[in-house]
Amino acid sequence: MTLKHGDILHAYCAFIPDYKYVVCICSKTPLFFLINSKPRKSTPDAQVIIEKKEFPFLDHDSYINTATIITIYPNEINKAKEIGHLSKIKKAEIVKIVKQCGYLTPKHKELIENNFQG
């Protein structure tokens, strides 16, 4: 599978362990944000809503948690199912939230800004 920034995958996350929807934020490393069914209470300002009407694979409106970056084992990425891609508008919203919040390192903020613009 060739990953692109903004791809949404259904992938096995060994640290949970379960299948989760994830958003690719860096295809080279690869790095991801988790999509959760409910916003994280500990980081409410870092949650970006992703609506079922725009992403019909969801059971209900969900939330991209931009406070935490995860990795997924390469063998699991190869088995993952690509199910969607973020719009330019949603990418811009993520960049805005990431810039405002203090959860990620400056390096990660810059990476997301560079990868999600355009």
Binned at pLDDT 50, 70 and 90, residue 118 comes out as low
Residue 43 lies in a domain: yes
Total length of the chain: 118
Residue 2 lies in a domain: no
Query: Tell me, what DSSP letter sits at residue 40?
Result: -
The pLDDT of residue 70: 97
Cα gap 39→47, rounded to integer Å: 6
38-89 pLDDT per residue, tens: 999 999 999 999 999 999 999 999 999 999 999 998 999 999 999 999 999 9
For 12, phi then psi, to 5°, come to -80, 125
* Average of per-residue pLDDT values in the chain: 95
Domain that holds residue 37: 7-116
Binned at pLDDT 50, 70 and 90, residue 1 comes out as confident
Cα gap 49→37, rounded to integer Å: 10
* Locus of tokens 């409410």: 44
For position 54, which CATH number holds? 2.30.30.110
The pTM assigned to this predicted structure is 0.95
Alpha carbons within 13 A on the beta-carbon side of 6: 17
Split into its structural domains, the chain has a count of 1
Residue 104 lies in a domain: yes
